Amino acid sequence: MVFDQLRKSHYSTLAERVAGATPLDLGLPQNQLRFSLSFDLSQHGTHLIDAILARFAHKAYRGDDVGVQALAASVSFLTARKCLTARNKAFHPSYHPLKHHPQLTLDTKRVTGPLSFLNPTTAQFQTTPELATHAEPPAQTSPEIPSHRPEPIAQAEQPASSVAYKWTSRNNRKGRHTLSVNPTVSTADAEFLAPRSTASLQEVARGIWRMFTWFPVWDISYDVATMFTLGSVVWVINAFFVYLPLVRPESEFKNEELYGGGITAFIGATIFELGSFLLMAEAVNENRTGCFGWALERALSHDAEKGGGFLRLRPSKSACTHHHLNKRNLVGKGRNSHSHSWIWFPSKEDLRTHYIHDLGFLASFSQLCGATIFWVSGFTALPGIYDKMSRVCIVIFYWTPQVLGGSGFIISGTLFMLETQTRWYKPAFRTLGWWIGLWNLIGGIGFTLCPAFGYDRASWTQYQACLSTFWGSWAFLIGSAIQWFESLDKHPVEVDKTLGDEDPDGQKTGAEANDGI
């Protein structure tokens, strides 16, 4: 029982001050302190408690109740003294992004997540002095992006006094690399030249144009987005088949609801199931080591003769290790030869230590479960099945799977929203992923209300059931379209005017001050 209690602990990292503390400092008995810290917890955090417990689970230690009690007492003591940090404030050693990147260092004050017992969802990495040493010589064009005439700084780029890399669990799954910049008006105060914010009207228009001109079918995130968009379009068509005859009876044709509604329901449910399967595959194949995805080159300023100059940041495909750029096959390794192979389901160890605490995985799993159950109602809606079932069978095999499946969509949308938030109660209005989750949540509510009304045969409830499908389908379509836009924007740039702050107590961190895009 002690093993189970400790495994369920919400704490993940031991504060550095505990590592150097003496028994007198902590007020802890000598034997318990030695027992607690003898496994190098200061470096790897209390994730290694599982390793300790596994050692004690061995038959040679199974009867050592005194030792187990000492461990339990030590952990309880450190917890009470707040020496253990919440799980959302530190990374598991095996999933620490950019741990060995020479140009970036993790800002431990800006590691956060909405729920203390789940993994971090947002972190910020500050640049190191070595960043300048890796910059390339000045060039008119970059091999990483299409050749074009150099644009004026005011139009194509923005001077910045500081930059940082913003890691989020969602962006990591989607192969996106967010750059946070603190812009400056005076070029004399600028050290960097960065692309303009992707929240600007010009960049948004460019992103919309990209949706109709760029089709990276080898990118699983793009496939997920387009799959859900296609499925949502089918559901909108289905909603017209079942709702329009109630509003405009003269438009109805023979067996419109049975054939038009039934067949499109089956197609839409099947597409949602396939999209959910790919969504799950995307979640378990996240980039564990992290990826910067930006290249630097030196740019001379007008004050170059005085020693002035900038470091220009450009998107870099060659520096990206995500699997999204692998054109040779739909699924597989990233471009880096050291990337782990594609997997379809995580190991038990990965599930226990990481994925069960990962919001993105939990949201994707809820979506897959909901879509799988919902598919049953799509199958029973087919002509030749629906019209042959009794009222009891319709309730059990048609309406009830919609209630359960729609509930899965609601849970999934809620979790995807939470994943983008720095606090569970604070909406992330400036983040695309938050809006995607919100519209999917609204769609899930519509798809759940439909069967809730459908159980009743009254005319007004049947009207509301069809209407719920109608607006729910449109909500899914809006969310899927935003996700399509997001999947093609691999190098978003956000403005964060808190960069460089010391983050004194009471002030917002960068992750909280600007939720990004």
| pLDDT, one tens digit for every residue, the chain (517 residues) | 444 444 444 333 333 333 333 333 334 443 443 334 333 343 344 444 555 555 555 444 444 455 555 555 555 555 554 555 678 888 877 788 888 777 888 888 899 999 989 999 999 998 877 665 555 655 554 444 444 444 445 466 788 888 899 999 999 999 999 999 988 877 777 788 888 888 889 999 999 999 999 999 999 999 999 999 999 999 999 999 999 999 988 888 888 899 999 999 999 999 999 999 999 999 998 777 778 888 777 765 554 444 456 788 888 777 777 776 666 655 555 555 445 566 778 888 888 888 999 999 999 999 999 999 999 999 999 999 999 999 999 999 999 999 999 999 999 999 999 999 999 999 999 999 999 999 999 999 999 999 999 999 999 999 999 999 999 999 999 999 999 999 999 999 999 888 766 553 444 555 555 545 6
CA-based R_g, the chain, Å: 27
What does the DSSP 8-state code read for residue 86? E
**68 lies in a domain?**
yes
**24 lies in a domain?**
yes
310 and 411 together in one domain: no
351 and 475 together in one domain: yes
Q: Which domain holds residue 187?
A: 96-142+151-198+289-321+491-513
Among residues 94, 91, 83, which one has the least CA distance to residue 112? 91
473 and 393 together in one domain: yes
pTM confidence score = 0.79
Q: If DSSP codes are grouped into helix, strand and coil, which group holds residue 312?
A: strand
Tell me the pLDDT tens digit for each residue of 115-138: 989 999 999 998 877 665 555 655
Handedness of CA 482, 332, 179, 428 (dihedral sign): positive
Q: How many CB atoms lie within 10 A of CB 299?
A: 18
**Helix extents (H) in 296-399:** 348-353, 359-380, 391-394
Residue 344 corresponds to which tokens in the numbers above? 């379809």
8 and 117 together in one domain: no
411 and 498 together in one domain: no
405 and 298 together in one domain: no
110 and 157 together in one domain: yes
6 and 79 together in one domain: yes
192 and 246 together in one domain: no
User: What confidence score (pLDDT) does residue 93 get?
Assistant: 77
C-alpha angle 301-297-133 in degrees, rounded to nearest 5: 105
User: What confidence score (pLDDT) does residue 460 get?
Assistant: 94
Write the CB contacts of 10 (distance below 8 Å, at least 6 apart in sequence). 86, 87, 116, 117
* Distance in angstroms (rounded) separating the CA atoms of residues 134 and 127: 12
User: What confidence score (pLDDT) does residue 470 get?
Assistant: 96
User: What confidence score (pLDDT) does residue 356 get?
Assistant: 92
**206 lies in a domain?**
no
274 and 342 together in one domain: yes
For residues 136, 140, 146 and 150, what is the CA-based torsion angle, rounded to 10 degrees?
130
Tally the domains of the chain: 3
